[in-house]
Amino acid sequence: MILLKKEWQKLAKKLEGLEERPPVARTFVENHARRGDPESVLALLDDFALHHGFLINVGPVKGKLLEEEVEATGKALRILELGCFCGYSAILMAKHLAAAGRVVSVESNGVYAEAAAGIIDFAGLSKRIELIHGHSSQVIPDLDGSFDFVFLDHWKDLYTTDLKAIEEAGLLRKGSVVFADNVGPLFDAEEYLNYVRGCGHFETRHVVSTVEYTDLEDAAEISIYRGA
């Protein structure tokens, strides 16, 4: 417990001033990345996070895992993302999709949403990524159809509530993948982990990793929907 407290203090220090960074990161990307090149945009966001100001992007380590899961699921996917932040993970996922693929990304913070919209446009992926500014609890009931892939990366205490709402709204099909980031020991994710492992609706696995841009322990929970 003492070790976890120290690790959380290290992370909390990095998070100070986070609200102000996405617009600065957007300017950094627009000044240094290649327009229309998603890989260049992602590399510059990584560079910013490592050398200029910590960002809560999924990052290159767990990002590789996310890429692998998206690629394994298919190309013409319909993806739901909760928590867009700077647009990093939306870009990471969208760049692998075929022309028919789409990412619907929900972001409750207006500052983050505006920065993400600019970065996504600069990456040349506005036609594949629909960014919705709103709270997940209000947006989810208005969504229709089904999603092949869901990426949870917003407020951790909303993971369980929002996944249940997604199920109740009929937004999952059998075989849909739910990828939950930041479910490691620092994030108090027991309620969510207990739900996906115990509700009987999912086949799930736990992948140990690190918190973005740090060596702090983290994990992702990757769950396949089998039906209620």
Note whether 133 and 110 are within 8 A (CB).
Answer: yes
Strands 147-152 and 78-82, how do they pair? Answer: parallel
Which tens digits make up the pLDDT trace of 92-146?
999 989 999 999 999 999 999 999 999 999 999 999 999 999 999 999 999 999 9
- pLDDT for residue 5: 73
Confidence class of residue 10 from pLDDT cuts 50, 70 and 90?
confident
Short-list 152, 176, 150, 189, CA closest to 228:
176
Average pLDDT value for the chain: 96
**By C-alpha distance, which of 225, 226, 212 is closest to 56?**
212
For the full predicted model, state whether its pTM sits above 0.75. yes
CATH 2.60.40.10 fits 2-225, yes or no: no
Task: Determine the residue type at 18.
Answer: L
With cut-offs at 50, 70 and 90, classify the pLDDT of residue 6. confident
179-194 pLDDT per residue, tens: 999 999 999 999 999 9
What residues are labeled active site?
153, 156, 181-182, 212
User: Per-domain residue ranges for the chain?
Assistant: 2-225
Cα separation, 118 vs 85, whole angstroms: 12
- Rounded to the nearest 10 degrees, the angle between the axes of helix 159-168 and helix 190-198 is 30
Residue type, 159: Y
